[in-house]
Amino acid sequence: MMVTVKLFGLLRLDSGVKQLELEAATVRELYPKLLEALHNAQPNSSLTLKDLKACAVAVNECPAKPGARLQDGDIVYLIPPIAGG
Residues within the interface to other proteins (CB under 8 A): 6, 8-10, 12-13, 18, 50, 53-54, 56, 58, 61, 63, 77, 79-85
Question: Least Å distance between CB 3 and other proteins?
Answer: 17
Question: Least Å distance between CB 48 and other proteins?
Answer: 11
CA distance 25 to 43: 26
Inter-residue contact 51 to 79 (CB < 8 Å): no
Q: Bridge-partner residues for 59, per DSSP? A: 62, 76
Q: Which of residues 23 and 60 has its CB atom nearest to other proteins in the complex? A: 60
